Amino acid sequence: MQAAAEELLSLPGVDGLQLTPGNAPTEGFLESLAHRGIPTRTHHGFDARALRSRVWSDAAGCRVRSDSVHPPRDVDAASAHWRTRAEAGDYAHLTLETMYPGYALGTGDALQWAMDLGLRLAVDVSHLHIQRAAGRLTDAVLHRLWDYPHVDEVHVSANPGDRDAHEPLTADTFGLGWARERMGAGLPVILECYLHRLTHDERRAQLALLRGPS
């Protein structure tokens, strides 16, 4: 964890980190970041002491405390109860990520339902691109989402439309312009391309592309 964090923090313009599951634990990691005043946002079951944590119980209770979480997959036991619990207000305190087909919040109809409920959302524009490529997200729902007042954070990366590839941004990446607008308005915008596959200079170029013309 510490090594990955230090690589990212060495890049100019990095002003915070999203902490996600998967890196080998480092003792004192969170305390080190806090001592240095580095802003962080935790995501989908991040645990500083483990590779990952289970996010949803079989009864659709959220088992973690993260700034944002993925909703369950359709094949998860939690999916049988998740919609009912959401409608009962059990997730009003959570920020739920927009997903792609195969997950809750993975279609335009599901996003419409979530906005009708007033759920707090983390909008992943690459996941929206997959929904559109699959014919599951209309322009009307997308435009409503662009203006939705309960967006807590934005995630950006690129993909070919058929899978969540976390590819580097390009100038015409879907949703990039909207993400820049949200960043300009003070919303956390998280670059989620696989930076570990890029050189230092390529990483710098990705950050510059995210920020846009100065």
In a domain, 172, yes or no: yes
In a domain, 28, yes or no: no
Checking if the pLDDT of 214 tops 90, the result is no
Give the DSSP letter string of 21-46.
Answer: TTSPP-TTHHHHHHHTT--EEEBSS-
* CA 103 to each of CA 15, 93, 146: distance values in angstroms, whole numbers, following the listed order: 31, 20, 21
Q: How far apart are CA 2 and CA 173, in angstroms?
A: 30
In a domain, 193, yes or no: yes
Residue pair 97/70 in contact by the 8 Å Cβ criterion = yes
Which tokens in the block code for residue 47?
């645990």
Q: How confident is the model at residue 30 (pLDDT cuts 50, 70, 90)?
A: very high
In a domain, 112, yes or no: yes
Q: How many domains does the chain have?
A: 1
- pLDDT tens digits, one per residue of 31-64: 999 999 999 999 999 999 999 899 999 999 999 9
- pLDDT tens digits, one per residue of 104-159: 999 999 999 999 999 999 999 999 999 999 999 999 999 999 999 999 999 999 99
Q: How far apart are CA 125 and CA 33, in angstroms?
A: 28
pLDDT computed for residue 13 by the predictor: 87
pLDDT computed for residue 119 by the predictor: 98
- pLDDT tens digits, one per residue of 65-103: 999 999 999 999 999 999 999 999 999 999 999 999 999
Q: Taking Cα atoms as reference points, which of 128, 163, 121 lies closest to residue 142?
A: 128
In a domain, 99, yes or no: yes
* Domain span holding position 78: 41-211
Residue pair 2/26 in contact by the 8 Å Cβ criterion = yes
In a domain, 69, yes or no: yes
DSSP 3-state assignment of 167?
Answer: strand
- pLDDT tens digits, one per residue of 157-211: 999 999 999 999 999 999 999 999 999 999 999 999 999 999 999 999 999 999 9
Strand partners, 155: 124, 190
Q: What is the pTM of this model?
A: 0.97
In a domain, 27, yes or no: no
Helices (H), 103-138: 108-117, 125-133
In a domain, 110, yes or no: yes
pLDDT computed for residue 43 by the predictor: 97
